[in-house]
Amino acid sequence: MGTVTMGPWKQLLLSALDSNSHLKHSSYFQLATIGSNGRPSNRTLVFRGFQENTDQIQINTDSRTHKIEDLKHCPFAEICWYFTDSWEQFRINGKIDIIDASTTDPKKLQQRQISWFASSLKSRLQYSGPSPGLPCLSEQPHQGFLDPSTGPVVAFCLLVLDPDQVDYLNLKSNLRVKFASGLNVNGEKCWTSEIINP
């Protein structure tokens, strides 16, 4: 497979991130998945950047959470991201790759390690606590210790969303554009865009 053409929506997203950067919540989005019971689940996560030279979105999470079970059942998910200052919404649909401690690909394991060390020590510490979503057995908050130079703990997981559809809505200009990816004759990912009714 040759070089991948980055989505034309990526520049719109980078501009939205830049113009809303003074708002702490601009780096948060919602991720929806489908569970094995057929029901949707939605949660708020932190944007951890793009994979280098791609339009693939990185998300850090705990491998013990329900979203991992959901993604193993159905790897497709959708991000919904709303920027309150610029009135822009991005709905980004695609397939998620789970990169956890059991991953064997050395390049992916390196990406996981880079993402681990890019996180704050406080953020890393939460992965050594009790399993999320289970009953709390102690009234005291978890007071763990983590050597800052140690690599990812087993519970740390990197999710990589590879977008194939993006629905962009600008409520200030009343512009809505649908972006869709496909493969060109050389088998390379390419994007098309269409202006649609808001």
CATH number assigned to the domain comprising residue 168:
2.30.110.10
Q: Does residue 144 fall inside a structural domain?
A: no
**What does the pLDDT read at residue 142?**
60
Q: Does residue 143 fall inside a structural domain?
A: no
More confident residue, 121 or 136: 121
Q: Does residue 58 fall inside a structural domain?
A: yes
**What does the pLDDT read at residue 5?**
60
Q: Does residue 42 fall inside a structural domain?
A: yes
Beta carbons of 7 and 167 less than 8 angstroms apart: no
- What tokens does 165 get? 């559809």
More confident residue, 64 or 140: 64
**What does the pLDDT read at residue 136?**
73
- For residue 68, the number of C-alpha atoms closer than 13 Å in the C-beta half-sphere is 18
Q: Does residue 19 fall inside a structural domain?
A: yes
**What does the pLDDT read at residue 141?**
63
pLDDT tier, 150 (very low <50, low <70, confident <90, very high otherwise):
confident
Q: How many domains does the chain have?
A: 1
Q: Does residue 84 fall inside a structural domain?
A: yes
Q: Which of 157, 163, 8 is nearest to 81 (CA)?
A: 163
**What does the pLDDT read at residue 147?**
79
What range does the domain containing 186 cover? 9-128+153-196
Q: Flag whether pLDDT at 129 surpasses 60.
A: yes
* Average pLDDT over every residue of 175-193: 94
Q: Flag whether pLDDT at 157 surpasses 50.
A: yes
Q: Flag whether pLDDT at 145 surpasses 70.
A: no
Q: Does residue 49 fall inside a structural domain?
A: yes
Q: Does residue 1 fall inside a structural domain?
A: no
Q: How many CB atoms lie within 10 A of CB 156?
A: 24
